[in-house]
Amino acid sequence: MLGVTVRRLAAALPTLVGVVIVTFLLTRALPGDPAAYFAGPAATQQAIAEIRAKLGLDQPLPVQFLDYVQDLLRGDLGLSITTGQPVLHELTTRLPASAELTLLGLLFAGSVGITLGVLAALKQNSWLDNLCRVVATLGVSLPTFFTGLLLIYVFYYLLGWAPAPLGRLDAFASPPPHVTGFYLIDSLLAGDLETFRSALAQIVLPAITLGIFAVAPIARITRGSMLAVMGSDFIRAARGHGLSGRTVVVAYALRNALLPVVTTLGMVFSFLLGANVLVEKVFAWPGIGSYAVEALIASDYAPVQGFVMTMGVLYVLLNLMIDLLYQVIDPRVRLEA
Amino acid sequence: MSAAATLDAAKIGPHARVPVLDVRDLSVEFRTRSGLVRALEQVSLAVHRGECVGVVGESGSGKSVTAYAVMRLLDAAGRVTAGDVRFSGIDLLAASDADIADLRGREMSMIFQNPRAALNPIRPVGRQIADVLIRHGGVTRDQAPDRAVQLLAEVGIPDPRRRAHAYPFELSGGMCQRIGIALALACRPALLIADEPTTGLDVTTQAVIMDLVTTLARERGMATVLITHDLGLATEYCDRIVVMHAGHVVESAPTAEIFATPRHPYTAKLIAATPRPGVPLSGLVSIPGNLPDLRATNLAPCRFLARCDRAHADCAVPPLLRQEEEGRMVACRHPL
């Protein structure tokens, strides 16, 4: 297992190098002049030129790139021009918010999607199967920002069940002592149920908004894969040996059916990382997605590069986890690895 | 009364001479996209305690469908439309799903064709045997693994303690078939249905597997149904042979008699097509034509009609005539 982990990480290095090059070039290719933006509308040509020199933007591209890589190797992601803060610091403080949201969304999507898919497969062409199909279609066709606004309108404005969509905690609560950065976990560690409830109330709507989008692909893959497995020889044999319905469905069929679902989970997760950006905007969530959008609008290179780098690293780690999970589920993969 | 209780009563009751398995006039249909398939029509066969009955026929003749119908393992598309299946007096077609699940694996077991595909690919084989034992065998969770290892040893698997942790993909086809046998025999059933237990195995392994099955069956007085397309194999191991063609039982008789005096033209052709000592391979005669399309609505009463060189005009007149005498049955108007 450890050997595989190391090998997969090593294999991911070229990917990360690619990410570094592409993000650097992309940010340079974007329209807009950060020096002009930073100097403000009233600045003279000379002032803008001075700022450009100060930021190193007057250098030729290869030189800028070398500077960038050298900083990167020292773990320095640069300063944000708009906030004046080190990008690394801002990303690390904001990352837990995004991660907590995405993981909870994935948890929601996974539990709902797998359950729906299994039920739909077991009761083929029943009302449940049809419901699964409707949810699948709706989930993919509604854009996340729309689902988000709809949920806010219904559950906050009309019903008043949800708190105002204003970040991770309501205005009167203070964040729990920092351990993992996940408020739900940290508040429980501190034994602070009040904060836990507040954090949970805040995260439910955005997590569902994010998750609904992913329910569809998970449910559909689960249904298809479950149908295929339920029709296979070894399920007939398991029933032929008298195993109970639950053992057949859970221990025999579902575990086999999960293999393609795990692959889908991986793809869906990277999908969610992207969808995060919009959901964070709608719910005023202080994560890295909203941070990156603001930086992008301000032509603020360093945070955008930092954001894309973070996403790249997350993506590599995620794929590694999927690979390892595969080995836990399927003994045949262990042999090849 | 539960099926198990009925079964015990039947074992010791006055019906001791009832066949372990008694299938009468069983008809099965499949609804498919391209129409209704009449897969079985009035199939009858009986197996007594300690007896081995071979069900023989080419692919698609309905051998496996018969087995699945008996075990109530037909696909959702398949439906029993008529007939009666009794296992030690229990009406299997009327029994509840729960009763059937109790009987399967404990009182009536099946060895499935394609041994590797019939095993859960991602569960150690020892655990799969333990699953069945825990379900039926009255062993506790702690005892089950040891008992599974014991069963592996009984079916001749070397180093059973280590092999119990192996996955099907790590074992050879013959090993997988031994696991399949261990699974089927784990709870010492009264009836064993072996569906092509040796297909895909090399000849040496075939013989070893068949000897294993028949030895265990004889030791335990099991009733055995051996489903095979290999008439030679059936003759070697079975007391009686039931010949199937296109969903019909065309002939059934004791093994020696069917070989000496086949009465159905299909049986005769099957024997002529089977390699046997003293006959060169060039002396084998293949059977002309194919199985009829069972979706057709105008099927002749005798489904062998189109392939038969003894066909008379009255063969096309329904019903199909089944003649019975002295423990033999032949479904032909003009038997040999």
The tens digit of pLDDT for each residue in A242-256 reads 898 888 998 899 989
pLDDT for residue B5: 47
Structure confidence at residue A235 as a pLDDT band (50, 70, 90): very high
Q: Are B118 and A234 within 8 A, CB to CB?
A: yes
pLDDT in tens, chain B (336 residues): 445 444 444 444 444 578 899 999 999 999 988 888 989 999 999 999 889 999 999 888 999 999 999 999 998 889 999 999 999 889 999 999 889 999 998 999 999 988 889 999 999 999 999 999 999 877 888 889 999 999 998 888 899 999 999 999 999 888 898 899 889 988 889 999 999 888 777 788 788 888 888 888 888 889 999 999 888 888 888 999 999 999 999 999 999 899 889 999 999 888 888 887 777 888 888 888 888 888 877 788 888 888 888 888 888 877 877 888 878 898 888 888
CB distance A242–B131 less than 8 Å? no
| Shortest CA gap B177–chain A (Å) | 13
pLDDT tens, residue by residue, A79-96: 787 788 888 888 888 888
Give long-range contacts, CB 8 A cutoff, 24+ apart: A92-96. A93/A181, A94/A286, A94/A287, A94/A288, A94/A291, A95/A181, A95/A287, A95/A288, A95/A310, A96/A180, A96/A181, A96/A182
Tell me if B104 sits within 8 A of A244, measured CB to CB: no
Q: What is the model's pLDDT at position B10?
A: 46
Partner-chain contact A234 B136, CB within 8 Å: no
What's the gap between Cα B242 and its chain centre? 10
- Whether residues A240 and B105 touch (CB distance < 8 A) is answered with yes
Q: What is the complex's ipTM, to 2 decimals?
A: 0.85
Cα dihedral A221, A224, A230, A234, rounded to 10, equals -70
Q: How far apart are CA A328 and CA A332, in angstroms?
A: 10
Determine whether the interchain pair B114/A232 forms a contact, defined as Cβ–Cβ distance below 8 Å.
Answer: no
- Please say whether the beta carbons of A275 and A206 come within 8 A: no
Identify all chain B residues contacting A123, using CB atoms and an 8 Å cutoff. Answer: none
The whole-angstrom distance between B310's CA and the closest CA on chain A is 40
Q: Which residue of A has its CA nearest to B195?
A: A237
**Residue-level pLDDT at B259:** 87
Q: Nearest CA of chain A to the CA of B95: how many Å? A: 14
Q: Which residues have CB under 8 Å from A249's CB, separation 6+?
A: A118, A122
Structure tokens at A36: 């002009």
Strand, coil or helix: B142:
coil
CA A246 to chain B, closest CA, distance in angstroms equals: 12
Mean pLDDT over the full length of chain A:
84
Q: Give chain A's largest Cα–Cα span.
A: 86
A316, two tokens: 């590599």
CA B181-B182-B184 angle, to 5 degrees, is 65
pLDDT in tens, A187-207: 888 888 888 888 888 888 899
Query: What pLDDT, on the 0 to 100 scale, is given for residue A272?
Result: 84
Taking CA atoms, B279 is separated from A122, B238, B275, B283, in Å, by 53, 22, 7, 6
Neighbours of B232 (CB within 10 A): 14
Residue A191 CB neighbours (<10 A): 9
Contacts of B110 in chain A (CB under 8 A): 237, 240-241
DSSP letter for each residue of B238-265:
-SEEEEEETTEEEEEEEHHHHHHS--SH
Distances B228 to A71, A310, B199 between C-alpha atoms, Å: 74, 62, 8
Nearest to B135 among A233, A244, A335 (CB): A244
Q: Which residues of B touch A228 (CB under 8 A)?
A: none
Contact B120 A245 (CB under 8 A): no
DSSP state of B104: B
Phi, psi of B279 (to 5 degrees): -115, 120
Per-residue pLDDT at A314: 85
Contact B125, B167 (CB under 8 A): yes
The structure tokens listed for B152 are 């592996």
**Cβ–Cβ contacts within 10 Å for residue A321, how many?**
16
Q: Where are chain A's structural domains?
A: 87-336
Q: Cβ contacts (< 8 Å) between A245 and chain B: which residues? A: 101
| Phi, psi values for residue B228, rounded to 5° | -155, 155
* Cα–Cα distance for residue pair A157/A210, rounded to 1 Å: 20
When pLDDT is averaged across residues A10-37 and rounded to a whole number, the result is 81
Topology annotation, domain A87-336: MetI-like fold (1.10.3720)
Q: Rounded distance, CA B271 to CA B24, Å?
A: 26
Q: Which residues of B fall within a CB distance of 8 Å from A331?
A: 122, 167, 169
Please say whether the beta carbons of A210 and A268 come within 8 A: no
Task: Report the distance separating Cα A17 and Cα B333, nearest Å.
Answer: 82
pLDDT at B12: 45
pLDDT at residue number B15: 44
Q: Which residue type is seen at A245? A: G
Q: A176: pLDDT confidence band, cut at 50, 70 and 90? A: confident
Given CATH 3.40.50.300, say whether it is the number of domain B3-106+230-330: yes
Q: In a mutagenesis test of the B interface, which of A123, A125, A234, A252 is the best target, namely the one with the most B β-carbons within 10 Å?
A: A234
Question: By CA distance, what is B185's nearest residue in A?
Answer: A241
Distance of alpha carbon A320 from alpha carbon A323, whole angstroms: 5
Residue B216 to chain A, least CA–CA distance (Å): 18
Residue located via tokens 């908004």: A209
Bridge partners, B91 (sequence order): B86
Name which of A255-264, A266-275, B141-150 the model is least confident about: A266-275
Question: Which of A227, A234, A241 should be substituted to probe chain B, the one whose Cβ sees the most B Cβ atoms within 10 Å?
Answer: A241
What is the separation of C-alpha B26 from the centre of its chain, rounded to a whole number of angstroms? 14
Categorize the per-residue pLDDT at A322 as very low, low, confident or very high, splitting at 50, 70 and 90: confident
Q: Residue A241: closest CA among chain B residues belongs to which residue?
A: B105
Residues of chain A with C-beta less than 8 angstroms from the C-beta of B119: 234, 237
- Give B260 to chain A, closest Cα distance, Å: 37
Find residue B243's DSSP bridge partners: B56, B251
Residue A75 burial (CB count, 10 A): 7
Q: Could you report the per-residue pLDDT of A110-168, keeping only the tens digit for each?
A: 999 999 899 888 887 788 888 878 877 887 788 877 888 888 888 888 888 878 787 78
pLDDT recorded at residue A336: 55
A interface with B, Cβ–Cβ < 8 A, is 231-234, 236-245, 247, 251-252, 255-256, 329-332, 335
Closest CB to B183: pick one of A236, A241, A244.
A241
Q: Which positions in chain B have a beta carbon within 8 angstroms of at least one beta carbon in chain A?
A: 68, 71, 73, 75, 101-106, 109-110, 112, 114, 117-123, 131-132, 135-136, 167, 169, 180, 183-184, 186
When pLDDT is averaged across residues A59-68 and rounded to a whole number, the result is 85
